[in-house]
Amino acid sequence: MPGKTTTLPRITKFTNCRIIRGNELVEQDVWIDSLSGKILRDQEAFYELHISPDEVIDLDGRILAPGLIDVQLNGAQGFDFSVPKSSKEEYDEGLRIVNKGLARTGVTSYLPTVVSSAPEVYWKVLPSLGPSGPKHRAEDGAESLGAHVEGPFISPGRNGIHKTEVLQATEEFEDVIQCYGKANISGDSKTVKMITAAPEIGSMVNHIPSLAAQGIIYSIGHSDASYEQAMNATKQGATMITHLFNAMRPFYHRNPGIFGLLGQNERPRPFYGVIADGIHLHPTSIRIAYNAHPDGLILVTDAMKLCGLPDGVYDWTNGERIVKSGARLTLEGSDKIAGSSATLIECVNNFRRWSNASTAEALNAVTATPARLLGLEGVKGTLESGADADLIVLTDALDPYSGPTLTVDQVWKRGVKIYDSGKAAVNNQL
Amino acid sequence: MRVIIRENVLEASEYIADYIISRIKSFKPTENQPFVLGLPTGSSPEIIYKTLVRHHRAGDISFKNVVTFNMDEYVGLPRDHPESYHSFMYKHFFSHVDIPPQNIHILDGNAPDLAAECASFEAKIARYGGIELFLGGVGPDGHIAFNEPGSSLSSRTRVKTLAYDTILANSRFFGGDLDKVPRMALTVGIQTVMEAREVVIVATGAHKALAVEKGLEGGVNHMWTLSALQLHQHPLIVCDRDATLELKVKTVRYFEAIEQSGTDARTQGPPLVYRPRTYVPAPVGVSKFHQQPTPASTPPRVPKDLKINTQLNQTMDEEELTPDSMSSRMVDSAISGLDSTLKGDMMFDRMGTRVISH
C-alpha cells in the first residue's frame, strides 16, 4: 500500500473524542491524511478506496478542535515582527523560532502583526511575513496567513503605544502603496492580509474599496471615528474592528462611536477583535459586546515579544522601554497598556468563564469565526473533510483556582503531530 | 421458530448483540473462511450496532474476518447522502469496528444497470457460500428488507418500488418533502433471506405488535412477508414486551417456557457447517426461465396487466405488484391494533364468543 513505506502513519483516525458542531460539542471520529495534510472525506475513502486507518488514537473523551487562529500577534519568544534584523536571514530565523513556539500553544496559523512603523521597516519585514502557503511544512510550526499592518494611518489621539512620529495621514492611495511597498499590498504575491487604520484620518475612507478589491481586510481601529464615520467605513467595505473598546472613542449614549456598529441593523455587523486577557477589558464589557453580536467575536492576544519572559524593564521599538510586571505590560513612565502577554488558549478560558458561552462557542471565536473573516471557510478553523488537518487536542478540567480550564495536550499541523504535552494518548484501542 | 422476549428494547438489543458475537466466536472465522453476516438498517438495528461497537471497543469481538451483505439501499440517492444506507452503516457500525472495507457489500443504488447490480450481489453471496446469519428488522406492516406486502415469497435481489406508506414514513428523514424521498430501492428478496443458514429478526415497540402476531400466529402470507420465516429451519425472533402485545397469552407463555426450561437459543442455532465455496451462477437469470412455463395457448389468462412496469427493470421478469402497505388499510395506523380490535375482524378469540358458549 502506498504510504506504508514512510515511517509516519498515513491515515490517522481520532476516536472517542468530542468535536465542535455549530455551538455544541458532539462525539464524532475524525480521519486525517498525513500525505495530503487534509482531513479525510472518510466515508468516501472507506467505501471508494477501501482505506482503513493506519493508526487509531483514542482521545479518551477529550476535545479535538481545529488549530487556533490569532489575527493579531506582535511577536513572541523575544522576537518582535516590527523590528528588522541586520539581514533577512537573521529575521527569518527569528520568525522560525516564533512559529515553532507558537504552535506549542495551540496556535497553528496567525497574522503576524506589525505596529506603526516607518516605511523602510515595512519594506524590510513584510516580504518575510506573507502567507506561508503550500510550501509550509508541518515541522515549521504555525503558519502565517499574511501580515496584519496595524498603522501607521491611525489617529494620533488613539495611538495607544504606537509612536506618534511615524504616524501618517493619506491624501492619495499612492501614499498607502508608497508606505507598505507596492508588492506587499497588490498582486498575487502580496504579503498583507489585513490593515488596521482610522477611517477618519486623511482620505483613508476613500481607499477602503481599493484595499478590499485586493482582498485585503480593512479593520477599523486606533481611531477616533464617530458612529457616522464608522458606518461610512463599513459601507466602503470595512469588515473588522481591531481590539474593540481599546484605542477608540468610548461608547457615548448620544454617539455610540465604533462600538455602535455592533448594535445597528442597517449594514452587516463587522467582526471585532477582543483581548480577553483580564487587563485590557472588563469582563462585563466583553459580555455586552458578545451579547450584541456573538457571531462576530474574535479573540486575539495582541501579544508581544515579552510573552513568557520574566518581569522587568525591556527595550521596545523606537528606543522606548516597556515594564513587565506579571501579565501586565506598560510603557515606561506611563500607564499605557503595551500589548498583552497572554496566550490565545488563556483568552479562550477567560472568555468562556466570563461570557457563559459554551465551550464550542468559545472555541469558535478563535477558529471558525476568524476563518470566516479571512475568507478561509472550509480550509482553516474547521474539522470538515477537505480542510487542512491543523488540530489540537484539549483537556477540559476544573482548575481549583480559576475554574473550568482548557489545556493544549497535542498539536497537529497538516496531518502530522508536532507537539505532545506528554499526556500519552492511548493508541490502537479502537 | 425460536422467540425470545425481553422486557425492553435495550435488553432485546443486548440479547441479539450477544447472540451474534457468540455465533461469530464459535464459528472461529479466518481470512479464508470468513463469517458471512447479513445486515439491516433502521432504528431497532441502530441500538444493536451500538451494543456491538461497545463490545468491540471492550475487546470482546473482532470483525476482521467477517464479511457483510446489507439488505437494501435506495435507488438514485448519492452514496454519501446522509440518509443513504451506506451512510447509516458507516456512521453506526463500520467506522467504529475493525472490519476491512473490502469485506463490506452494500447494493449500489446508482449502478448504471440496476438489474446487473442485483444479479452480481446474489452471485457474490453465492461465492461466499451463502449467508451464515441474516439479521433483520421488521416493518409495522410485516415487511422484511424492502419486501413490502405482496412481495413474492420466492423473490431475490431486485429493484422494488416503495409503497406509498413507506415513502410517507421516510419523508421525515428528507425534511418532510415527499419529492425528495427516493421512489425505488434495491433489496434482497425473501428467498435471499430464506437461504441464509440462520435468520435473526428484531421486533421492538408496540407498533410492531401486529406484524409479530401476523408473522407468528398467522399463516404464511405474502402480505406479511415476515411470515415466510415459518418455513425457515432456524429463525429467531427477538421481541421486547411491547411487540408481543397482539400475541395470544398462550403463545407468549409457550415461548417463555421454552426459554425458561433452559434451552437457550444460543445453543440452538444451526450447526456451523462450512459449505464449499463454489461459484453458483446468479439465480436471477435462471428464474427468468422458470417463471415462464405458461403454455403459449393461454396467454390472455395471465394477469400481466397487474405488473408495474418500471423502465429500469430490463432483465428481470420478477416485478411484483406493490400495493399500499398493510397499515394503510387499517383505520388507524398509529396504534393499529386498537382499531382492528374495535372492528372485530382482527380479534382472534373474542370474549363474547366464550360467554355464549357457556
Are the CB atoms for A413 and A8 separated by under 8 Å? no
Of B70 and B292, the one with more pLDDT: B70
Question: Does residue B138 carry a pLDDT above 90?
Answer: yes
Angle at B292 between CA B287 and CA B297, to 5 degrees: 175
The pTM for the full model equals 0.79
Q: Which of A108-117, B18-27, B186-195, B311-320 has the lowest mean pLDDT?
A: B311-320
Please name the member of B86, B91, B97 whose beta carbon is closest to the beta carbon of A47.
B86
Q: Is A50 annotated among the ligand-binding residues? A: no
Interchain proximity A50–B102, CB inside 8 Å: yes
Interchain proximity B79–A29, CB inside 8 Å: no
Q: In what order do the strands lie in the sheet with A416-420?
A: A24-27, A18-21, A63-66, A391-399, A403-413, A416-420
HSE on the CB side for A150, CA within 13 Å? Answer: 28
What pLDDT sits at residue B47?
Answer: 93
Q: CA nearest A298: which of A219, A401, A213, A356? A: A219
What pLDDT sits at residue B127?
Answer: 94
DSSP conformation class of A35? T
| Average pLDDT over all residues of chain B | 82
Domains and CATH numbers, chain A: 11-66+385-427 (2.30.40.10), 68-373 (3.20.20.140)
- Identify the band that residue B278 occupies on the pLDDT scale cut at 50, 70 and 90: low
Q: Can you tell me the ipTM of this complex?
A: 0.70
DSSP conformation class of B78? -
Summarize chain A as % helix, strand, coil (round to 5).
Answer: 30, 25, 45
Between β-strands B35-39 and B66-70, what pairing exists: parallel, antiparallel or unpaired?
A: parallel
> Cα torsion for B267, B271, B277, B282, to the nearest 10°?
-90
What pLDDT sits at residue A134?
Answer: 83
C-alpha cell at A264: 445597528
Interchain proximity B94–A44, CB inside 8 Å: no
Interchain proximity A46–B90, CB inside 8 Å: yes
Contact pairs from chain A to chain B, CB under 8 Å = 36
Distance, CA of B314 to CA of B311 (rounded, Å): 7
3-state secondary structure of A335: coil
- What's the rounded mean pLDDT across residues B183-188? 95
Query: pLDDT under 50 in chain A at which residues?
Result: 1-6, 425-430
Of B283 and B195, the one with more pLDDT: B195
Q: Scanning every residue of chain A, which has its alpha carbon at the shortest distance from the alpha carbon of B54? A: A430
State whether residue A12 sits within 8 Å of chain B by CB: no
Surface-to-core class of residue B346, CB atoms within 10 Å of its CB (0-12 exposed, 13-18 middle, 19+ buried): middle
Q: Is A161 annotated among the ligand-binding residues? A: yes
Q: Which of A21-25, A384-388, B22-26, B170-174 has the lowest mean pLDDT?
A: B170-174
Contact list in B for residue A52 (CB cut-off 8 A) is: 98, 100-101
Per-residue pLDDT tens over the stretch B329-347: 444 444 444 444 444 444 4
Please name the member of B57, B80, B96 whose beta carbon is closest to the beta carbon of A43.
B80
What pLDDT sits at residue B272?
Answer: 62
What pLDDT sits at residue A192?
Answer: 97
What pLDDT sits at residue B297?
Answer: 52
- Identify the band that residue B316 occupies on the pLDDT scale cut at 50, 70 and 90: very low
What pLDDT sits at residue B337?
Answer: 42
Are the CB atoms for A363 and A182 separated by under 8 Å? no
Give residue for cell 479466518: B30
- What's the rounded mean pLDDT across residues B152-179? 90
- Identify the band that residue B33 occupies on the pLDDT scale cut at 50, 70 and 90: very high
Q: Classify the phi-psi angles of B102: left when phi > 0, otherwise alpha if psi is within -120 to 50, otherwise beta.
A: alpha
Interchain proximity B90–A29, CB inside 8 Å: no
Residue A343, min C-alpha distance to chain B (Å) = 36
Please name the member of A41, A52, A429 whose beta carbon is closest to the beta carbon of B101.
A52
Q: Is A150 annotated among the ligand-binding residues? A: yes
- Residues of B identified as active-site: 72, 141, 143, 148
Angle at B313 between CA B307 and CA B315, to 5 degrees: 105
- Residues of A identified as active-site: 302
State whether residue A47 sits within 8 Å of chain B by CB: yes
Q: Is A339 annotated among the ligand-binding residues? A: yes
Q: CA nearest B87: which of A47, A383, A384? A: A47
Percent of chain B with pLDDT over 70: 73
The CATH architecture assigned to B2-267 reads 3-Layer(aba) Sandwich (3.40)
Q: Is A428 annotated among the ligand-binding residues? A: no
Contact list in B for residue A47 (CB cut-off 8 A) is: 79, 86, 90, 101, 104, 106
3-state secondary structure of A173: helix
Q: Which of A368-382, B191-205, B264-278 has the lowest mean pLDDT?
A: B264-278
Interchain proximity B95–A42, CB inside 8 Å: yes
Determine if the peptide bond prior to A250 is cis (ω within 30°).
Answer: no
Q: Is A11 annotated among the ligand-binding residues? A: no
Q: Scanning every residue of chain A, which has its alpha carbon at the shortest distance from the alpha carbon of B56? A: A430
Contact list in A for residue B98 (CB cut-off 8 A) is: 52, 430
Q: Scanning every residue of chain B, which has its alpha carbon at the shortest distance from the alpha carbon of A16? A: B96
